[in-house]
Structures are given as C-alpha cells and as structure tokens.
Amino acid sequence: MGDTDPWAMLLWATGRGELSGRPVLTHWRWEGVPRPNQPE
C-alpha cells in the first residue's frame, strides 16, 4: 500500500471510498486509547 494515494487510503479506511483490490468497508471504529511507546 506504499504507493497508494494517502487521501484515497483515508477515505477507504473511514468507509467513504473504494480502493482497488480491497473490500469496501461498511463499519469502522475510532480507538483513541494511547498506545504504549514502541522501541525503535
């Protein structure tokens, strides 16, 4: 997905657009819980 347009990806991830080769999303949920720091 590295070559996918960021706006197209955002629209797809929020169920507002389609991405070639990916199923249409009809449900998504915001998770606002902070993630623990990951080692780099």
Q: What is the pLDDT along the chain (40 residues), one digit of tens a residue?
A: 678 899 999 999 888 999 989 998 888 888 888 888 877 6
Residues near 27 by Cβ (< 8 Å), separated by ≥ 6? Answer: 15
**What is the distance of C-alpha 35 from the center of its chain?**
17
Distance CA(24)–CA(6), nearest Å, equals 17
Distance CA(16)–CA(24), nearest Å, equals 9
In this prediction, residue 6 carries a pLDDT of: 93
In this prediction, residue 1 carries a pLDDT of: 63
In this prediction, residue 29 carries a pLDDT of: 84
Characterize 19-30 residue by residue with b for buried, 16 or more Cβ atoms within 10 angstroms of its Cβ, and e for exposed.
Answer: beeeeeeeeeee
What is the pTM assigned to this prediction? 0.60
